[in-house]
Structure 1
Amino acid sequence: MPKKGKKAKAPLSDEEQLLLFQQKLLADEETAKKKERLLNQFLKDKLAKEEHNSALNLNKINTQWRMVLREVKTRELHKDIEILSQTFERVVDCKDSVIKCHVSCRKTIIDQHEKEMHYLQDVFMAMEQNYIDSEYESKLEFQSMWDDLKNKNLEEKHFLRLQLENIVEDLWRRFQDALKNYTDATEDRKIAFEALKVKDEKSSKEIEAQMKRIQKLQEAISILKGKIMAHSRESEEQNQCIRNDKELVHVHLRKLKTQRTQAREVSQENLVKLTLESNATLKALRKIVDKGEKILKLAEICRKFETEEEKVLPFYASALTPKEQAEVEALNQEELTEDLAQVMVNYTGMENFWKRYNKVKLEVLSLQHRRAQLLDISGKLKEMLKQYLDGISVSDEVLSQPNPLFIVNHRSNLAQPLSMPAAQSGDK
């Protein structure tokens, strides 16, 4: 049997060549990024090592410089200490001489003070003796003067007593004579006075009885006047109260009329609002019902497109552990108020619906994110394809735009130079 020859490779189509070229470009771009990352990492490590070495060298320089400064400072301090010791010795010598001079002066001052003290003691003794002598003489003189005054006062007192006794006897005699003459002259008048006195007592008793009677009558009159005034005041107060009550009743009646009219207006307004709100609620409820029917129809339509996994497990399980789930429930119970908890209890039947809704929402978001990524990749590929096609064609439009074939001074006007087209042209 004849040997079968090897099959020749079929020529690649333009699309396959474009895909191959795009794969090579992507691979080159990945390698360039890896090299750039490695270079950045190498530079960062080298920079860290240089910083570490510079810090170590700086510490060494600082320590050596500190040692030099310490030696210089110690020499300066030794010189300062020697100078201070010499000055201290000079000051101590001066202080010793001053202390010796002060001690000698103190001894002389003490001797002089003792002499003055002896002199003052002698003077004090002499003055004390003179004071005692003068005090004794003054006491003797005072005693003699006191005796003379006492004798003189006794004599004057005796003379005045005799003189006063004579005057009192004379006045008593005159008083007795005048009393006798008065009794003799007023005997008749005394008898008449006694009679008038008895009559006056009787009349005074009658006057007193009449006064008591008048007083009782006045008290009765004042009581009656008080009663009359009280009755008049009470009647006036009652009349005033009745008039005030009448005024209050009229005012209250007017208020009630105004309130009735206002309540009628408010009730009419409330009725209008109630009718408007009821119509609005009916329209809203109709919209909700239509929306619910639409949701049910969409759910029936979507049920046809559900996968087997969604039909078996329509509700996703929670990603939290039982412990974390318990903590979340405890926090929710602490933060919820009574009204909010009651509302949530009323909507517990919607949990499964919201789970499925959230699952679908997450899938939609992930698909949108994936679509954006794919659109970005597609745009980049279109741009690369356009650059490649511009590179293999020549026209005014192409020359006016960045072109890999237009090279000046070994530099292209592209933002990022492409090496693959040149390699491919070399292969051709």
Structure 2
Amino acid sequence: MIGGLACFIGFRFSYGKSQGGITSLIAVISTCGIALSIAVLIISLSAMNGFENELNKRILSVVPHGELEPVNRGFTAWVSLLSQIEKVSGVVAAAPYIRFTGLVEHGSKVIALQIKGIDPKLESRVSALSSYASGEAWKHFLPNKNQILIGQGIVNSLSLKLGDWITMMIPGRHVEDQILQPKYVRLQLVGIINLNGILDHSLAYIPIEDAQKLLCIGSNITGIAIKAKHPFEADLLIRQVGEVTNLYVYLHSWIGTYGYMYHDIQMIRTIIYLSIVLVIGIACFNIVSTLIIAVQDKRRQIAILRTLGANNSLIRSIFIWYGLLLGGVLGSLVGTIIGGLIALKLTSIVEIIEKLTGCHVLSGDVYFIDFFPSELHFSDVIIIFVTSIALSLLASWYPAKKASRLLPAKALNLQ
């Protein structure tokens, strides 16, 4: 009963017609500050969530979580080695690969690439690369047909289209201090891999059997790629796998190559959260000045309430509700709604801005994606809203306590 009465009177104080001019102005500024801060925080965190989600989809799902490469000689008995590696706890799958450097030429354009020979069936177990290949290219990616899959960025650089033939030059190996002539091979582009990011400028795949023939290495391979059950434990897992092989091998994990992206995202997320929470705090504590002025403006009303039997607890509750309704609740609701709506449509909004200005926010040859992602998490919205309400409640406490100590006679004498 008392809580409902305090809320009702606080609501009348907040939105009644008797609100003073300066009090209304400060209240509007405080409310707008809270709303803007919350909206910016929700949008920023949603963008960071989007980047992290795209990083999981386009990096961790495509690149190997770990790689083993021999120090002195290749993996000749790699078939039996795969079964040993897959028995290690935490390893989901393993697949062989051959990596070499080649020059790809089309017309007058030449690009140096790291080309990877893979077994499509085994590669599908460690990578989601097949889901980013155009059409049915992955299913028809077969050996002895001079086929190649290339990233969208390379396709654009060489002005290629599906079905085009390209020339690949492979440098000859050193044999007894002599340099053999390079090999030339004609390959047909049968599929385009489109990840909408920097990986599109470095991906080129041929069947592993074709790579073995081109390099004249028999059944040998360059290394073994590993998919981990828990990607963030890849460093420890790859060491355990290295011990199982009983060979001198180089150990690589995705953390050493792409881990900085996760660190950057988490660091930016923390900085954004701390910065905007401070801004929300400043906006919320504007409520203090608003309520102190309001206490002076409402001296007569406080005195009347006192004469009607209102005690200190009721007066204090009224002004706490006054502060919450004036800035905290209204500002938090408005900011949450605006921030949520913009976060849900952020990618489309940025695309429209890019079309109007002709400028791209993210370049695919620099960043791992070429669009601005967004993913709204309901938990983030709840945390932000509750934090804003808590700060508003804290800011309302001192003015409410001051109002509860105001004596009726003194208040009336000051009118």
TM-score (ref. length: structure 1): 0.17
Which structure has the greater CA radius of gyration? 1
- Which structure is higher in helix share? 1
TM-score (ref. length: structure 2): 0.17
- Which structure is higher in strand share? 2
Greater relative contact order structure (CA < 8 Å, 6+ sep) = 2
